[in-house]
Amino acid sequence: DHDGCAAVTSTLILGGAQTDFARNFTREGLDSADLFAQIVPATLEAAGVSASDIGVIHTGNAFGQIFTGQGHLGGMPATVEPGLWGVPAARHEAACASGGIALLAAMADLEAGRYDCALVLGVELEKTVSGDQAARNMRAAAWVGHEAEDAPYVWPWTFDAIAAEYDLRYGLDTAHLRAIGEKNFANARRNNNAQTRSWDLPAAAFGDDDTANPVVTGRLRRQDCSQVTDGAAGVVLVSDRFLREHPGASERARSAVLGWGHRTVGLPLQQKLANSAEEEYLLPHVRRAVLDAFGRARVTLADVDGIETHDCFTPSEYLAIDHFGITPPGKNGRAIESGELAFDGRLPVNPSGGLIGGGHPVGATGVRMVVDAHRQVTGQAGEYQVDGARTFATLNIGGSTTTTVTFVVGAAGIE
């Protein structure tokens, strides 16, 4: 439904898992198969299902061949888990939104009635090369040969350009960007899978000290940037029919995907900004994706108890503030100054630590967000549990918001 008014989906989440994002698989002498060998059984166990229950597998992965030389990752689950031999599987690529696209593909399979139980994985190994080479590898998600060709780091350059456009249109205080980074690093300390949970950063690391928080490009500094990460996440999605045919599954705390949004636009950032020059929102297609999810879920922002959003850089979380409707367009700083986005605020954003604090294995991020949303609304988020959470939203973007995927996840209870 193009206007986001379709009926509420019946896709249910039985459980999910995440690897420790602080690990360096290459340093440990491990490869892609080892990453799959950890996330597949962990996800099945978390969902309380066996390999024989799985009808289809969808894997999100952005840069497999570039970082590891290993492609054809749709075949990796069956490689490491004999019980998945013969189960149809596919890999999906949409840059940092690869995980979100894998989730949408699995949902479509369930809603079409082809299968009743889907295993969705997001996986990425990025520490196979130096940080500088990793940044060069990720240039593949931009319009290669056409944008940011002179920028040594394409993605910090891109999101600095988004911050600059906010400054041009509305005004922007860089202290608000620093506050986003500081919040997400603090949240990560509660999360025992977060990449930076044990980092000890001084207060100066969240200011404009060139030594403690060096400039990366433009107005972005080190703590404005997400991490190069190895990691995976997984969830099991099922239909209502699966629950009817598997009474034991009905006894588990579960959640439901209440609504979703998916919008895709052209690759170049400047094309996006030119197209929105007369628009209310900086990136109106992102706003529409959010409204699509809310419309399908039949909720408003007032119904949402927390958000896991794409903070690949602090400007990407900054733009999420007004695109979710937390503030009017361009008034994003109000929400930061009020404290309402803090862990104990009215609407916590990235209680997991997000990408900046939690880690950003690119193809896994969209799945990890939904894992955390499921944990929040079923009361399983541990030290970073948001009190009383029943509905969570996610925003997963690829490139300079070229691919935008949003979800609303709500508690489904126990029958």
251 vs 18 pLDDT, higher one: 18
Query: If you ran DSSP here, which 8-state letter would residue 225 be given?
Result: B
Least confident of 9-23, 68-82, 319-333: 9-23
Task: From residue 188, give the alpha-carbon distance in Å to each of 21, 174, 177, 372.
Answer: 11, 22, 17, 13
* Chain segment 201-243, per-residue pLDDT in tens: 999 999 999 999 999 999 999 999 999 999 999 999 999 999 9
Task: From residue 43, give the alpha-carbon distance in Å to each of 20, 51, 118, 178, 338.
Answer: 13, 10, 11, 35, 38
Q: Are 236 and 45 in contact (CB under 8 A)?
A: no
Give the pLDDT score at 413: 65
Least confident of 6-20, 21-35, 80-94: 6-20
| Both structure tokens of 190 | 């509660």
4 pLDDT more than 90: no
Predicted TM-score (pTM) of this structure: 0.96
Q: How many residues are listed for the chain in this entry?
A: 415
Q: Are 207 and 14 in contact (CB under 8 A)?
A: no
| Both structure tokens of 220 | 């972005």
pLDDT bracket for residue 5 (50, 70, 90): very low
Give the pLDDT score at 414: 53
Q: What is the mean pLDDT of the chain?
A: 95
Is the alpha carbon torsion for 9, 10, 15, 19 positive or negative? negative
Q: Are 232 and 38 in contact (CB under 8 A)?
A: yes
What is the percent of the chain with per-residue pLDDT over 90, rounded to a whole number? Answer: 92
* Chain segment 384-407, per-residue pLDDT in tens: 999 999 999 999 999 999 999 999
Task: From residue 226, give the alpha-carbon distance in Å to each of 94, 156, 193, 196, 274.
Answer: 18, 10, 15, 10, 27
Q: Are 400 and 269 in contact (CB under 8 A)?
A: yes
Buried b (16+ CB within 10 A) or exposed e, 224-261: bbbbbbbbbbbbbbbbeebbeebeebeebbbbbbbbbb
What is the percent of the chain with per-residue pLDDT over 70, rounded to a whole number? Answer: 97
Q: State mean pLDDT over 238-260.
A: 89
* Chain segment 124-150, per-residue pLDDT in tens: 999 999 989 998 999 999 999 999 888
pLDDT bracket for residue 248 (50, 70, 90): confident
Least confident of 159-173, 250-264, 362-376: 250-264
Q: State mean pLDDT over 186-197.
A: 98
27 pLDDT more than 50: yes
* Chain segment 165-184, per-residue pLDDT in tens: 999 999 999 999 999 999 99
